[in-house]
Amino acid sequence: MNRFLATAAVALLLQTSALGVAHAQALNGNPLSDVRVRQALAYAIDRQLIVDAVFGGYAIAADGLLPNGPFKSPNLNAYPYDPEKAKALLAEAGWDSSRQLEMVFYYDDQITADLMAVLQAQLAEVGVDMTYHLIVGDVAKTLNSIPEDPKGKSVVTWDLAYGARAAMAMQEYFNDYVTGKASADGFPGASELDELIAASNSSTDPDANKATLMKIDEYLNTNVLTIPLYYQQLYSVESKRLNRNGEPHGNDQFNYDWNIQNWTVEPDANGKAVMYTNAAPIDYFEQPWVNLGLWAGNKLIWAHMLSAKPFLDGVAGGDLAESYVMSDDGKTLTMTLRDGIKWHDGDPITVDDVTFSLEFALKTPNLHGVVASTLNSIEGAAEYVAGTAEHVAGISADGNTITIKFAKVNANVLLSFTQWGPFPKKYFEGVDPTLVQQAEFWQKPIGSGPFMVEEAKFGDFSSFVPFADYYEGKPKIDQVIAWASADGDVNMVKNAAANRIDFAITKVVSDIEAIKALDFMQLTPLDIPYTRMMWINQYDK
Amino acid sequence: MLTYIVRRLLIIVPMAIGISFLVYLALDLSPGDAVSRMLSPERTVDPAKLAELRKALGLDAPLLVRFWIWFSGVLQGNFGRTLTGGVPISRILMERLPATLELSVIALVLSSIFGAILGTISALRRRGTTTDNVLTVAGMIGVSIPEFFFGLVAIVVFALNLQWLPVGGRLLPSYTSYWDHIPNLVMPALVLSIMMTAGVMRYARSAMLDALSREFIKTARSKGLPEWRVNLLHGFRVALTPVIVLIGFRLPILIGGSVIVEQVFQWPGLGSLFVMAVRNKDLPVVMTIALLTVILVLVVSLIVDILTAIIDPRVRLGN
């Protein structure tokens, strides 16, 4: 009944005629608050040229924030490259050509520098003078600071900002546009958009939210609140020694049902099946609740409560939980743990580990946003975090079953539990959750996934070996050797050329081109939700 | 000389403290802190939780208090823990310092020997000779080619094409003894050495030419001394002074400065650690490496002064 009412409310909301109306005038002292100026910027940018010239064709020109696929609205204006139209719109808006726009960005790579130069030239062609610079220091603060009063003066100097959204849940594209939310979107807010965003978060059924999400994308598109530039593909880099044995490719930026335990690799001269990869930690293993799909140091070691479909478009089934039940009103989740599941040290994984970890996670400072939103929706979470309750009221356990009651419906409950798994309680008792990452545990974590840490020579490599008691069976690969590297491994191609990479992922154009030239390697493009965009600061200046 | 040495050693302490404080101050003045660097710019985090983390890491304390906590720890032999991962810095130093030292020391020794010898030969052969021309051009190429380019060419030739040496890294799971990783050391050490040799050679050549043009060389020759004696005992000895200064001050730079070679050859030394720590604003790590470098610079400066006084009779310490 509640789902029916929610759907009906959304349907009514979507029929509201006022939605999507763009006000053709500046709303404050900032000319970027005039939709005509923003539309002009959108028409001035040749996205296809950028894709072809800057990204070598390894990207897709974007017309909306949501990626191509089931959530894509058919009603988006692509703002095809039209400098004459851009000039006309600017003239109509009374654009002051002596005004200079300040663009900021936070990627310090050459391709971003090239992109900035192209954008500068394209905007100059329609009479918009733009300068750009890399943000250093407190990047998040520079990007995300907003005035207390949405009608107040902007507290940042930038006019345009280049950034990205690598979304796990589609709502992530839009939740930041809520009035008063400190974020980089630069939009002071609108009640009609707030209502749509709230509606898009009102059901745990992705299909029920789809129409609303499309409508939000249309709203942003009509009003040019943000200019989507391109969708970036992720590439799976694999050697021909590696055989996934039919197991699926998916969104490797997150966790999915990839069944690495079934992968095989050709044995070496000693008959040992060693898979070489990268992204091993440099000084310590990252705790897995932040960068959820962090390769090697995270995905190999940790299992999760549930398991996601390859492109996170639903739940594939249980992971540590054998079964789960979501109540019809979307406010109670029951998960039953499998029998006989173990930590890498041989101890059983218990309900106590799960309930402890849920409470522990609530007090950690740096949880992934979607997971944080889910956990904070649990009944009594706020009181527990504030210190007024000893435990979270909404979490209970009975035998092997954990019941979680939510104070409000959270759209991504199931998705969150496909990415979140417990820590072994005994290693974290007495650890301050605020300093979770600083715990000694992360020098050699005891996990629950298919591989366990054998040795970590930080800065050099980490070695992982199969976990014999993994509930889905002992992995067939004898050893995984991962070379230490930071995000965006600059040595990946070199290692691949020397037969030292069997699996890696990349989005770097030059890497993709170089790997293509190696006949013993193969590339698989993966369409993931990853949109690069240009935020527009519309606050008063 | 002894009084001079003692005085210089005593000066090292306040200078190390002063320079450390200035480095700490400069880092503190740059925008952001370790907590803000831990966050992805694409994600917003509850400010209250960030404030708790800052407090837990001691970042909310005034500058002087933080500096004193760090410095008093160092006085007790405790370098603290990294802010980002809570790893004891002494453990990181134990892991990384050997990698840095073996690379730096080999590069320094090889470049000093070959640089001084080749520079001297180049100077003695006089301008315009084939040897001088070849060495001069080689020296110019050596100082002009960026390390990363030279390193990558070496990798393509010796690791990928000839497959004589590993492509990079320092250790492998299969290594059981210290000597196992020597093949990994060869390329980065030689690339660094060759780049540095070029610099020393150019410097030694100039110093030698300068020394050979001095009056005391003419005097030595007029005394009828054999040419090799004039060149080596009189010319080379004096020419060595500026070369020693150059070589001496390269060691501290190498401790934190062979970043590019470390990066290209995936060598886990202090240089890449330092750069990462600066980016993460992990002050205890940056300060520890900076302090080591400062002390090394001051000690090397003293050693260079002493060596100069020993080699060059015109130099008198303490006057």
Is the predicted pLDDT of residue A17 greater than 50, yes or no? no
What mean pLDDT do residues B64-92 have?
93
Beta-bridged to residue A401, according to DSSP, are: A336, A398
Crossing angle for the helix pair A35-44 and A83-92, to the nearest 10 degrees: 160
**B51: closest chain A residue by CA:** A365
Residue A1 falls within a domain, yes or no? no
Same domain, A212 and A278: no
Would the CB atoms of A176 and B96 count as touching at under 8 Å?
Answer: no
Residue B223 falls within a domain, yes or no? yes
From residue A4, give the alpha-carbon distance in Å to each of A1, A39, A128, B184.
5, 37, 49, 66
Identify whether the C-beta of residue A462 lies closer than 8 Å to the C-beta of residue A281: yes
pLDDT value of residue A298: 87
Mean pLDDT score of chain A: 92
The CATH number given to whatever domain includes residue A355 is 3.90.76.10
Same domain, A268 and A319: no
Would the CB atoms of A284 and B44 count as touching at under 8 Å?
Answer: no
Is the predicted pLDDT of residue A1 greater than 50, yes or no? no
ipTM of this predicted structure: 0.85
Sign of CA dihedral B275, B281, B282, B288: positive
pLDDT value of residue B127: 67
Residue B139 falls within a domain, yes or no? yes
pLDDT tens-digit series, residues A420-469: 999 999 999 999 999 999 999 999 999 999 999 999 999 999 999 999 99
pLDDT value of residue B257: 60
Q: How many domains does chain A have?
A: 3
The CATH number given to whatever domain includes residue B244 is 1.10.3720.10
Which range of residues forms the domain containing residue A487? Answer: 241-302+449-519
Same domain, A308 and A211: no
Identify whether the C-beta of residue A485 lies closer than 8 Å to the C-beta of residue A458: no
Q: How far is A528 from chain B (nearest CA, A)?
A: 16
Is the predicted pLDDT of residue A18 greater than 60, yes or no? no
Residue B131 falls within a domain, yes or no? yes
* Element at A123 (helix H, strand E): helix A110-125
Give the 3-state secondary structure percentages of chain B, helix then strand then coil, rounded to 5. 75, 0, 25
Residue A81 falls within a domain, yes or no? yes
Mean pLDDT score of chain B: 87
Taking CA A168 as the corner, what is the angle to CA A466 and CA A309, rounded to the nearest 5 degrees?
Answer: 55
> Which tokens sit at B9?
């050693």
Q: Beta strand A479-484 with A274-280: parallel, antiparallel or unpaired?
A: parallel
Neighbours of B215 (CB within 10 A): 7
Sheet with A234-239: list strands edge to edge: A451-457, A461-466, A479-484, A274-280, A503-506, A234-239, A521-526
Q: pLDDT exceeding 90 applies to what percent of chain B?
A: 36
Report how far Cα B306 is from the mean position of its chain's Cα atoms.
20
Is the predicted pLDDT of residue B55 greater than 70, yes or no? yes
pLDDT tens-digit series, residues A363-420: 998 899 899 999 999 999 999 999 999 999 999 999 999 999 999 999 999 999 999 9
Is the predicted pLDDT of residue A7 greater than 70, yes or no? no
Is the predicted pLDDT of residue A10 greater than 70, yes or no? no
Q: How many domains does chain B have?
A: 1
Would the CB atoms of B173 and A138 count as touching at under 8 Å?
Answer: no
Would the CB atoms of B32 and A283 count as touching at under 8 Å?
Answer: no
* Structure confidence at residue A22 as a pLDDT band (50, 70, 90): low
Which range of residues forms the domain containing residue B202? Answer: 89-279
Same domain, A295 and A311: no
Residues in A closer than 8 angstroms to B88, CB to CB, are none
pLDDT tens-digit series, residues B215-228: 888 888 888 888 88
Is the predicted pLDDT of residue A536 greater than 50, yes or no? yes
Is the predicted pLDDT of residue A13 greater than 80, yes or no? no
Same domain, A67 and A104: yes
> Which tokens sit at A480?
């995984």
Is the predicted pLDDT of residue A20 greater than 70, yes or no? no
pTM score, two decimals? 0.88
Helix (H, G, I), strand (E, B) or coil at B58: coil
Token pair 């923003």 is found at A38
For chain B, say whether A490 makes contact (Cβ under 8 Å): yes
Q: Which has the closest alpha carbon to B49: B35, B30, B63? A: B35
When CB atoms are compared, the residue of A140, A182, A479 closest to B41 is: A140
When CB atoms are compared, the residue of A136, A141, A284 closest to B87 is: A284
Instruction: Let me know if A395 is exposed, middle or buried by CB neighbors in 10 A (0-12, 13-18, 19+).
Output: buried
pLDDT tens-digit series, residues B199-218: 888 888 888 888 888 888 88
* Structure confidence at residue B176 as a pLDDT band (50, 70, 90): confident
Question: Which of B262, B266, B289 is most worth mutating to test chain A (most A CB atoms within 10 A of its CB)?
Answer: B266
Residue B95 falls within a domain, yes or no? yes
Residue A505 falls within a domain, yes or no? yes
Is the predicted pLDDT of residue A86 greater than 50, yes or no? yes
Which of A209-223, B109-123, B259-273, B284-298 ranks highest by mean pLDDT? A209-223
Residue B202 falls within a domain, yes or no? yes
Same domain, A197 and A210: yes
What size, in residues, is chain B? Answer: 319
Give Rg (Cα) of chain B: 24
> Which tokens sit at A505?
């992922």
